[in-house]
Structure 1
Amino acid sequence: MPTTRPTTPHATTHARLTGPLALLVGADEQVPLVTGDTARYANLDIAASAPALQSVADRVAEFLPYYSSVHRGAGYASAVSTAAYETARRTIGAFVGARSGDVVQVVRNTTDAFNLLATAVPGDVVHLDVEHHANLLPWQGLGERARAVTADETVTETLAVVEAELARTPAALLAVTGASNVTGEILPLADLVEIAHRHGARIAVDGAQLVPHHRVHLELLGIDYLAFSGHKLYAPYGAGVLVGRRDWLDAAPPYLAGGGAVREVTLDGTSWADAPARHEAGTPNVVGAVALAAACEAIAALPDGELVLHEEGLRDRLLAGLEAIEGVRTLHLWRGAVQAIGVVTFTVEGYTAELVAQYLSAEHGVGVRDGRFCAHPLLERLNDGRTAVRASLGLGSSAEDVDRLVAGVARLVAHGPQWTYDVDGRPTPDPRPLPAWVTETGTGSACS
């Protein structure tokens, strides 16, 4: 059964996608190298945070003159802002095939969405051990109500252990990733939906990585809840969504207590509104919602299958190039042919992941990510807990970007780095100037 909505093949090349959709803010940005040269930035860190589509930035600029309070203001700008916010909610829901009764809950990001859902689940939650922390840590907060299942060596065997766990002890919710943020591999959601529903559980999908690459349709697939983030979907303006069935969200305690989430307040108590207002206390991120809706519109305008074929070609090119280099190992979850998005994680024998990533940036102008990718249990399985390097593809990616990364890794293996690097992998000295308006250098992430 298909994982996502069926697509129709279209001819494509491994060059950048053409047309307005391929226009990304900063796509032709020149970045300094430690050698004193510059290079067009090859952004292969899309899985962490994608740049804004130019059409999204344009929509935000168009909206900003009307920005005002929503739902309660009498002014014209307030009326426009309210209409824009609620229109965005409908647009986002339509993009993912929401049912007529579903709630489109505007949140900050996927992590926020699952923390909200964790307050609403009326029973046990079953999840896999391959999850991003966004779809792992909120369930751990439920204590004994959360049950982790260890993914097996093949997708088929993994489905079997999930079914066995749901059959062993009833659960209210099965929470799974749509696509691994470490390996890009995709689980068959239609099969998981069938398994969950057969055992009386609902299913929540972490769509942070899947939604930007494959169309997902809640109603056709039977998914109960879907969470994803604007900053993964070319709309990095601070909004994400939880889309799904209303009853649990209406029954849950308000995610935040405050104005906008209420029907009536007295000194003795409060009558709370239904979702989505129930969980959107305070002034919402209207700009973020407008941006996310604009991204949904732009991606929905692509011919079916065009983006998938574009990324599959580039991923195959990247895998072939890396696996031809002696000492390079790519990480995979499951044996056999598995559908995947444009994410490839690898290690280079003799070099730390931190040095490889810094070297690619400093000497080749290629942006990748190193670490454990907020998926520590999975990296424990795949790489004995050690860090790795992740390259990730998206709308603006090209064969030139892929080839530059592969050539850089090949040069590192054959000749070593041209520059010097400290024990943390950072170039020393680092002569690359920062923009004048930046005053602090980066010091790493709380979620490696």
Structure 2
Amino acid sequence: MTHTDADAVGGRLVRDIRLDFPAFASSGHDRPTAYLDSAATSQRPTAVLDAERDYLEHHLAAVHRGASAATGESTTLFEDGRADVARFVGVGDREIVWAQNATDALNMVALGIADASAGIGGRDAARFALQPGDEIVLTEAEHHANLLPWQRVAQRTGARIVPVRVDEHGVWSIDDLAAVLTERTRIVAFAEVSNVTGMIAPVAEIAEIAHRHGSFVVLDACQSVPHRPVDFAAYGVDFAAFSAHKMLGPNGIGVLYGREELLDALPPARTGGSTITKVTLEEAHFLPAPHRFEAGTQAVSQAIGLAAAVRYLEGIGMDAVAAHEEAFAARVVDGVAALPGVRIVGPQPGERRAGLVSVSVDGVHAHDVGQFLDEAGIVVRVGHHCAQPLHRALGITATTRASAHVYTTADEADRFVSTLGEVRGFFGLAREAS
């Protein structure tokens, strides 16, 4: 294969990066499977697998419980992992809370606000309380993880969901969002990068406008933290969530970021061991963040694996990662734009987008498109991508999505485009003039 600028990430060739990932070990075939589903779940480098294995084989012990040397060592590794993750997203250690995944993290915020609205948490939590008629602003492009929890909050409090509508490509603007904010807006929740369209939102500008309206800003950072430089403190958001399994890390662990003073006031969604300072039969007093939110035994090896993923990505450089993936997306979009009967969802050719591209093929269901690609050795995601309102607004049931990470090659982008171009002919649809 000929190596181009698109086959380098920073100072390393993608060919060499792929050697770090056991999943891409030679299978003996001339053309290995093209893995273009990293937006759903990324592959893991040996450094991450080794970090988890080393902990489990040599350092396994309870954390924050007991006074043994083993517990102390395990706790140090666990908390060092928290520090690595905090540094990666530009915040303090106490502002990083472990969750099961990003969906869980967003639910922790929503449930805490619902509890505060019911009077739980006392005077400190009252700042979060919603009243009937208060407004929760969401975009029509949100993943269900950043929609359903807010629907539940609205049902419990009498607040109402106010949508930011998308255009015919599934894209919205900061002006669209600003136009729906009112004096009743209390929460503004949105994704930095859409998992369907690849649109990149101007987070800091949105946070500034939302705060002028007295709103809390909740960021879904699932498709941004793994793929581009992120600084939550500089953004000015109040809460944010992301998952390890999309950023070369383990399953079963996610991250909730919250500004320190807000986390210390937010009622914990789950309660139990390790979260308290004092318990009687009648009441409990909770620790400061982050431990007030981390009830029960935590995903310790996964946290250590996530920290290893952070260090791996830092070694490559997030500016380089973003540039590589955006080049992949531009290559795919330019290629798809020349295919008759294929619709590009999201930013159009020449417009900036993150490293994922979703398409709709006229006359062919996305599941059939995905099966055709799969038989050609190309792994993609098909369906509504947990974003039914967005697909409904676009008038389509499902899309086919190709997405990149540090190990994705230019050849894989070209294979996706060329194979996609064969789909309509295979299903007997007439080729239209482009």
Shorter-chain TM-score category? 0.7 to 0.9
Superposed, which structure 2 residues align to 1:89-108 within 5 Å? 89-99=82-92, 103-108=95-100
2:239 pairs with 1:247:
no
- TM-score under structure 2 normalisation? 0.85
Whole-Å Cα distance in 2 between the matches of residues 410 and 335 of structure 1? 18
Given the alignment, which residue of 335, 340, 343 partners 1:321? 335
Whole-Å Cα distance in 2 between the matches of residues 225 and 302 of structure 1? 27
- TM-score under structure 1 normalisation? 0.82
Distance 1:395 1:220, change over 3 A: same
Given the alignment, which residue of 58, 69, 82 partners 2:75? 82
Distance 1:38 1:146, change over 3 A: farther
The SS at the match of 1:345 is: strand
**What displacement does 1:339 show?**
2.8
**What displacement does 1:360 show?**
0.9
The SS at the match of 1:83 is: helix
Check conservation: 1:106, 1:240, Cα contact below 8 A: yes
**What displacement does 1:210 show?**
0.9
**What displacement does 1:388 show?**
1.3
Between Structure 1 and Structure 2, the one with more helix by share is 2
Aligned position for 1:63: 55
Aligned position for 1:446: none
Q: Which runs of 5+ in 2 are unaligned?
A: 114-127, 429-434
Distance 1:304 1:107, change over 3 A: closer
2:131 pairs with 1:138:
no
Distance 1:272 1:205, change over 3 A: same
Superposed, which structure 2 residues align to 1:96-135 within 5 Å? 96-99=89-92, 103-121=95-113, 122=128, 123=130, 124-135=135-146
2:200 pairs with 1:186:
yes
Check conservation: 2:240, 2:256, Cα contact below 8 A: yes
Distance 1:300 1:186, change over 3 A: same
**Segment of structure 1 superposing worse, 370-379 or 64-73:** 64-73
Aligned position for 1:26: 23
Superposed, which structure 2 residues align to 1:338-353 within 5 Å? 338-353=351-366
Whole-Å Cα distance in 1 between the matches of residues 17 and 208 of structure 2? 35
Letter of the 1:163 partner, please give it. Answer: A
Check conservation: 1:163, 1:195, Cα contact below 8 A: yes
**What displacement does 1:145 show?**
2.0
Superposed, which structure 2 residues align to 1:397-436 within 5 Å? 397-416=408-427
Whole-Å Cα distance in 1 between the matches of residues 241 and 359 of structure 2? 27
CA offsets 1:115-159 (integer angstroms, 9 cap, x no match): 001123313532211100111111000123242322354999732
CA offsets 1:162-198 (integer angstroms, 9 cap, x no match): 22332x2333321111000001111111210121122
Distance 1:157 1:290, change over 3 A: closer
The SS at the match of 2:373 is: helix
**What displacement does 1:414 show?**
3.4
Superposed, which structure 2 residues align to 1:27-42 within 5 Å? 27-28=24-25, 30=27, 39-42=31-34
Letter of the 2:107 partner, please give it. Answer: N
Aligned position for 1:368: 380
Distance 1:208 1:146, change over 3 A: farther
Check conservation: 1:255, 1:280, Cα contact below 8 A: no
CA offsets 1:11-52 (integer angstroms, 9 cap, x no match): x81125436755223023649xxxxx8851211011111111
Check conservation: 2:153, 2:159, Cα contact below 8 A: yes
Aligned position for 1:217: 231
Distance 1:201 1:337, change over 3 A: farther
Distance 1:161 1:386, change over 3 A: same
Count of residues in Structure 1 that have an aligned counterpart in Structure 2: 397
Letter of the 2:369 partner, please give it. Answer: V
**What displacement does 1:359 show?**
1.5
Whole-Å Cα distance in 1 between the matches of residues 273 and 30 of structure 2? 50
Aligned position for 1:432: none
CA offsets 1:406-446 (integer angstroms, 9 cap, x no match): 222223333449xxxxxxxxxxxxxxxxxxxxxxxxxxxxx
Check conservation: 1:97, 1:217, Cα contact below 8 A: yes
**What displacement does 1:95 show?**
0.5
Given the alignment, which residue of 161, 164, 167 partners 1:150? 164
Check conservation: 1:155, 1:187, Cα contact below 8 A: no
Whole-Å Cα distance in 1 between the matches of residues 173 and 147 of structure 2? 17
Distance 1:161 1:412, change over 3 A: closer
Given the alignment, which residue of 43, 47, 60 partners 1:51? 43
Distance 1:103 1:146, change over 3 A: farther
Whole-Å Cα distance in 2 between the matches of residues 27 and 146 of structure 1? 47
Distance 1:156 1:406, change over 3 A: closer
Whole-Å Cα distance in 1 between the matches of residues 145 and 22 of structure 2? 27
Aligned position for 2:389: 377
Check conservation: 1:49, 1:236, Cα contact below 8 A: no
Distance 1:330 1:194, change over 3 A: same
Aligned position for 1:227: 241
Letter of the 1:118 partner, please give it. Answer: A
